[in-house]
Amino acid sequence: MKMNLTALSLLLVAGVSYGLYQLSYEVQGLEKNLAALDKNISDNRETIRILKAEWAYQNRPDVLQSLATKHLPLLLIAPYQVADLEQVPENVIALSELEPKNVPLPRKKPRRTYKPPKNKPLGSYTLATFSKAGGVQ
């Protein structure tokens, strides 16, 4: 009985201290993990900051303007090109239009060399465009 008690308490001591050490190591491990995560977060934040600055730098208006001049056939918006939705005429479709008709067939094969007509819209306003050197022409 006495031996049992001693053995039991020894076992208990061993068990508890093992548990405590385990816990202590686990806490240390978690703390290490936390520190690493914190560092990771702050590193990521720093990277985001740099990327944001880089993004703003690459999107400087003068850079965008020179790129647009180089690659896009865009012009300044002329006043006659601006309209609101109410100014667009309503397209009234007649009932007869909705009835099914014969599907039209092309007379010959569509050409590969097809080019859209070159007629540009005529306006009372001379369209301005950005020059490559900068500024508006």
Partner 1 sequence: MSELTWLSKSHRPRLNLKNPLNAHKSDDNNVALRLEGSAKETLEQGRNRLVMAGVIFAFCFVILAGRLVGLALSGDGDTARAFPEKSNQKPVAFSDGMRAEIRDRNGVLLATTLKTASLFAEPKNVMDRQELASKLSRVLDDMSEAMILSKLSSAKNFVWLKRNLTPTQQYRINALGVPGLHFKEEEKRFYPMGALVSHLLGYTDLDNLGIAGVEKYFNGQLSGSKETAASELNLSIDVRIQHAMRDELTRHMSMFQAIGAAGLVMDVKTGEILAMVSLPDFDPNRPNDFSSDSKFNKVSLGVYEMGSTFKTFTTAMALDAGTIGLHGGYDATKPIKKAGFLIRDDHPKKRWLSVPEIYMYSSNIGTAKMAIDVGPKNHKAFLGKLGLLEKPSIELPEVGAPILPPRWNSLETMTISYGHGLSVSPLQLSAGVSAVVNGGAYINPTVIRRDPAVGIVARQVIKTKTSDTMRKLMRLVVEQGTGSKAAAKGYLVGGKTGTAEKVEGGRYKRSAVVTSFVSAFPMNDPRYVVLAVMDEPKGNAKTHGFRGAGWTAAPIVGRLVARIGPILGIAPVEEESEKVKRAMFVPINSKGKKVASF
Give the interface with partner 1 as residue ranges (CB under 8 A).
42, 45-46, 49-50, 52-57, 59-62, 65, 76-80, 82, 84, 125, 128, 134-136
The least CB distance from residue 57 to partner 1, in Å, is: 4
Report the C-alpha gap between 88 and 81 in whole angstroms.
Answer: 12
Q: Which two tokens stand for residue 39?
A: 């560092």
Shortest Cβ distance from residue 52 to partner 1 (Å)? Answer: 6
CB of 137 to partner 1, least distance (A): 10
Q: What is the 3-state secondary structure (H, E, C) of 14-61?
A: HHHHHHHHHHHHHHHHHHHHHHHHHHHHHHHHHHHHHHHHHHHHHCCH
Residue (60 or 132) nearer to partner 1, CB: 60
